[in-house]
Each structure stands twice: as C-alpha cells, then as structure tokens.
Amino acid sequence: MKIIIVGAGKVGLALAQSLSREHSVTVIDQNPRLVEHTVNVYDVMGVCGNGASAEVLKEADAGRTELLIATAPSDELNILICLVAKYLGVEYTIARIRHPEYGEQLRYMRSTLGLSMAINPERATAREIARVLRYPNAMKVESFSKGRLELVEYRLDPGSTLDGMRLSSLQKSLKAKVLICAVARNEETIIPSGDFVLQVGDTIYITASAHELEQFFRHLGVFKSKASSVMIVGASKLCYYLGAQLLDMGMTVKIIEQDTERSTHMSELLPRALVITGDGADSELLREEGLDQTDGFVSITGMDEANILMSLSVARQNPNCKVITKINRQPLVDLVAGAGLIGSVVSTGSVTTELILQYVLAMQNASGAQIKTLHRLIGGKVEALEFGIHPDSPLIGVPLRELKLRPGVLLAGIVRQSGKIVIPSGSDAINAGDDVIVVATSTLHDIRDILR
C-alpha cells in the first residue's frame, strides 16, 4: 500500500520503521531535520511542510494513497489532516486523539468525520497497565478472543521450579494447561519445541486461560492475587484513565503529584482517589503514605529517568509490591527490560504503534481469515496474531500434526466458538469460527502463511 504518516515523532518514526518493510511510506513533518533523518534512516519518502495543507498532501501524492496516519502533536490538527486527506481521496485515515474531553466523542468523530480509526494512546496504555495489575506475577499481559485467552510475559528468577524443566513435561509436572510459545534468552529469540529446557534468566511467554494461569502460578508457588491498593506518581492524562479504570475494578488509588495545580485538577476529576501534593521521589513521603502496605506502584511522570529511579527505589523498599514504569525512549526500554531491574515496563508509543499496525494488517487480509488481534513480543522480534477462521479456510479439519509449518511458527492456542480453550496438540484440528493464536518470528498476513 501507499501510506502517508504525518508527524515524525516517536510514534511516527516507529510506524515508519515497521511499515516501510512492506509498503511505500511517505513521512510529512514541518521540521526539515526530522524529515531528513527519517529519509536517511528508513526506506521512505519525505515531505517537509504542514500536513493539514492540501498542497503538501498533494506533493505527498495523497490522491493515490490508501492510508493516512496523523500523529501530529495536536488532536485538532490530526482531525483536520484526516478531513483534508479524505477530501483529496485517501480511503482510510487514522488520527491520534489524546484529550480526555474527546474520549466520549470518538464514535461520533469516526462516523461523521469519516475517520477509519481514532486512537487514544493514554487510554490504551492505561488498559495495558490495568491488565498487569490483575496478574502481578507477570511482566506484561496481552489478551486474545475478548479476554478468553491470555498471553503473559514472565521471567525465571533464581530458585524457580521451572529451572532445568523440559517443556514436554511442563503440563504433567505443574498440572496446568499452559503453553510456552516463545523464549527470550540473552540476545536469542526462540520459538521452542518440546525438547527445549528452561533456564534461570529466561523470559518466557505463556498462553492459557485466566484460570489455568492462576493454577500455573500457584503450582510454581509464586501466585499473587490482583493488586488491591495502587500508588500512582504523576497526574497526567494517563493517570486519569488509569485511575478511573482501577477504581472501577474496586482498587484503592493514591496519586502523588508535585505540581499543586495538577494535583488539585486530578482530585476534581477523580474524587474517589486520594490525591497528594508531593514529590514521588521522596522515599520518606512514600513510606508515610503507606508504601509498605501497597500492592502496586506505577511511575508515569513525563521523565523516563525519574520513573526508573523511583521504581528501583520502591522495588528495593517493598519487594512484594508490583512495580510498573512508563518509559518512552526505546533505548532505555531495552536497557531496563533486558537487565530485569523493574517488574514491568510500558511505553505509550509502543502501545499506539502496535494498535495501528494491527489495523494495517487487518486491511491486508485475504478472504481466508481475519486478523483480530496483534501483539509484538521481545522488542518486536516476535508477533502473536489472532486469526478468525472463515468457513472456506483450507486448514479446517486437518489434524495439526499433518500441517507442515514454516520454521519459527507455533500454534499457541485455539478458542472454539463455544468459548472452549484448546492448548493445541497434534490430534487437534481447526474448525470454522475458531479464533487461532499464532506466534511467529516473521510477519503473517493470512493463516495460510503459517505453511511452508
């Protein structure tokens, strides 16, 4: 496809990097240095100018473009860019819209203004953090088939029962129907077979139902129930969405913000939360506010370094507390996640990019299956995709042992129309109407791509 990306910020650059591998991409930004950098680093075209200008969009060949993605800093500018693009003939438009006041209007905007997709990065990131707080054992949690099947990221610490265990004996040993579908070991990414042996330090990716995951962690002796009290540092838009979700889940929420005006505003937006004006980096303040009795700690200020330092301090003070850190810069994400210093790391840019890539993949679908969900694992080296199986798919009814899968591909789960979860074995087969979860080291566009 021909794709235009307006805005060469973190999200725009991440999209350019991912989409330029298979599509013709043009990036528009008003900063000439950013445009030059993007063109030099990625295989894309660049146009310097205002993306809301019809002349600039024409220069980017908008009339022959299938998709435009607006990731400029302003919500209003993104909406205007998409309106002009639709007028010029762009078929699909995606706008990043961040302001909470626009949240209730997104459905109206999509239908009336012709937006194909309106994405709120902070709301999406809040959902990801809330999922992790439901499973404090996990570093990251992703959902498939409307939450029926979960994929969790978990690190093997010293003394783990899993150290030295062969995957073929996993279910028998732990009496839980789970599947380890990917492993990150040092710099290596592995789609494991039954002969694979786990080691301390491995980061593993597990698919199972919520109930089976609970049994899995119970048998490991590390199960923790969902957080009941959460402390959030940083009264941002993300804080508002996260606090509202956690309160609706029945958790008690304490918010710490250094700026008096912002803390007052947040207390008005979330009257059921306790908002404290103070420095979240002050360990004495955190202790006074009950850090020792807190189940979850989330640092989401606008400074990556401050978030990292606060999280490291809290992890040392309260080892039983689930610590989640927002980090925007990818090199810092790689450094912290790779070292295993902090429980969980989230990136608003990564969440946004993943959702948009999921939409782009869905646009490319062949008729045999529909990509419903996409999650990228291990820094984007592995993709976990959920395919909805249509009645005409050639894979229906074939025992899985007879399918000749491409290298680096694993069937990680099947969800029947009835809601039944199947952890695949060789005798199982795919049925029409199933949701099939596939983990692969290469990009797949259709369920048939799993075959050699």
Helix (H) or strand (E) holding 303: none
3-state SS string over 28-56? EECCHHHHHHHHHHCCCEEEECCCCCHHH
Per-residue confidence (pLDDT) for residue 146, from 0 to 100: 83
- For residue 340, the model assigns a pLDDT of 67
Tell me which H or E stretch contains 213.
helix 210-220
Going 326 to 331 to 333 to 335, the CA torsion angle's sign is: negative
CA distance 283 to 374: 39
**Cα distance between residue 327 and residue 346, in whole Å:** 6
CB atoms within 10 A of CB 338: 13
Helix-strand-coil percent breakdown of the chain, rounded to 5? Answer: 35, 25, 35
Q: What is the pTM of this model?
A: 0.85
Tokens read off for 389: 């199986």
Instruction: Please report, as a single letter, which amino acid is at residue 263.
Output: S
pLDDT of the chain, 452 residues: tens digit per residue: 999 999 999 889 989 988 998 899 999 999 999 999 999 999 899 999 999 999 999 999 999 999 999 999 999 999 999 999 999 999 999 999 888 777 667 667 677 777 888 888 999 999 999 999 988 888 899 989 888 999 999 999 899 999 999 999 888 888 888 999 999 998 899 999 999 999 999 999 999 998 899 899 998 888 888 889 999 999 999 999 999 999 999 999 999 999 999 999 999 999 999 999 999 999 999 999 999 999 999 999 999 999 999 999 998 899 889 999 999 887 888 788 766 678 799 999 888 888 888 888 777 654 445 788 888 888 888 999 999 998 988 999 999 999 999 999 999 999 999 999 999 999 999 999 999 999 999 888 888 899 98
User: Which tokens hold the place of 79?
Assistant: 């909406």
Q: Pick the closest to residue 197 from 223, 152, 160, 150 (CA basis).
A: 160
Quick count: other Cβ atoms within 10 Å of Cβ 168?
A: 12
What is the token pair recorded at 155? Answer: 């690190």
pLDDT at 335: 80
pLDDT at 80: 94
Looking only at the bridges linking them, the beta strands covering 229-233 and 252-257 are parallel
Q: Which pLDDT value is given to residue 350?
A: 87
